[in-house]
Structure 1
Amino acid sequence: MSEPSSPQERGRAAEALARRHLEQQGLRLLAQNWLCRRGELDLIMLDGDTVVFVEVRYRRSATWGGALESIDARKQAKLILAARYFLQKESRWAQHLCRFDVVAISPDNTSTLQLDWIQNAFDT
């Protein structure tokens, strides 16, 4: 992924990279950038029978903490509320198991991108 100029472009490129990686691992996309009054869900995917809410985090630098460290308790609470709202609106998925994954993307020491996929990154 070359370095896009705006934060929005970087976010879209990171989400596209994460989506490709997860699809290569057998997950299927249900929704991307799903918006509601509770917030936004970057990727909603299906892993077998499990609905997976994926938060994609990209950090150009670890100066203020890396991509993983940026998902604090407040951010987790927002994701959980948005996921609950999704399951209310899209009731066909409400009876499925759910989990929250994080895909953290950051440059390594050689300026290539490191992608870390953390399954079950946090509990509800």
Structure 2
Amino acid sequence: MTARQPHRSRRNATGKLGEEIATRHFMSEGYRILNRNWRCRSGELDLVAEYEGTIVVIEVRTRTSGGRFGTAAESVDYRKQYRVRSLAEVYLRQNGYAGVPVRFDVAAITLDRFTDEVAEFRHIESAF
């Protein structure tokens, strides 16, 4: 076991918790979740939903309070946006959604570093 594994395992757990929180939130708001963690050779889309006739690709970013690397929303940089858009093209083509309106949202979640309770939840519609 390397020294990095406990950190990676904690980071993975934080990400999974954030995705679960986001899924529950969007379902309570009337979104129909089509896929969670959809994967292809090029990568993964966190959430794909349908809302009022629009396909919504949701990038979920989760951080703990007091982190050193900026906010969850700030972590969705140009490279990440490009990657999500490229993956969404593959998803839409494979699932027959040509011509359906598409929107890219971000769910930015901050968890309390001691309790894992949600300290902040930001839904940024049409983030990119």
Q: Establish whether TM, by shorter chain, passes 0.5.
A: yes
Aligned to 1:77: 82
TM-score (norm 2): 0.84
Amino acid at match of 1:107: L
Unaligned runs of 5+ in 1: none
Larger radius of gyration: 2
How many Å apart are 1:36 and its aligned residue?
1.0
How many Å apart are 1:32 and its aligned residue?
0.6
How many Å apart are 1:107 and its aligned residue?
3.2
Match of 1:39 among 35, 38, 43: 43
Q: Give secondary structure in 2 for the equivalent of 1:79.
A: helix
Q: Give secondary structure in 1 for the equivalent of 2:109.
A: strand
| Alpha carbons of structure 1 residues 30 and 105: separation in structure 2 relative to 1, 3 Å | same
TM-score (norm 1): 0.87
How many Å apart are 1:63 and its aligned residue?
2.1
- Cα RMSD between the aligned structures? 1.8
- Stretches (4+) displaced over 3 A: 107-112
How many Å apart are 1:37 and its aligned residue?
1.9
* Structure 1 segment 45-84 matched on structure 2, within 5 A: 45-60=49-64, 61-84=66-89
Unaligned runs of 5+ in 2: 1-8
Aligned length, in residue pairs:
117
The sequence identity of aligned pairs, in percent, is: 38
